[in-house]
Amino acid sequence: MPAKVLVTREIPEAGLRTLREAGFDVTVLSEAPPAREELLEAAEGAEGVLSTVTETIDGEFMEAAGDGLKVVANMAVGYDNVDLGAAGRGASSSPTPRRPRRDHGRRRVHAPARRGAAPRGGRAGPARGPVGVVGPEALHGPGRVGKRLGVVGLGRIGKAVARRARGFGMEVVYYNRSRKPEAERELGARRMELGELLETSDFVSVHTPLTEEAHHLIGAEELGRMKPRAVLVNTSRGPVVDEAALADALEAGNIFAAGLDVYEEEPKVHPKLLERENVVLAPHIGSGSIETRDKMAVLAAENIRAVLMGEPPKSPVEE
Q: Which residues are catalytic?
A: 237, 266, 284
Dihedral of the alpha carbons of 145, 149, 155, 161, in degrees to the nearest 10: -30
Q: How far apart are the first and last CA of the chain?
A: 33
Centre a 10 Å sphere on the Cβ of residue 78 and count the other Cβ atoms it contains. 18
Q: Which residues contact 206 (CB under 8 A, 6 or more apart)?
A: 152, 153, 217, 218, 232, 233, 234, 235, 236, 240, 241
H-run or E-run covering 157:
helix 156-167
Instruction: For residues 137 and 96, give the distance between their C-alpha atoms in angstroms, rounded to a whole number.
Output: 40
Three-class DSSP category at 132? coil
Which residue, among 180, 210, 182, 209, has the nearest Cα to 192 in the 3D structure?
180
Beta pairing partners, 25? 4
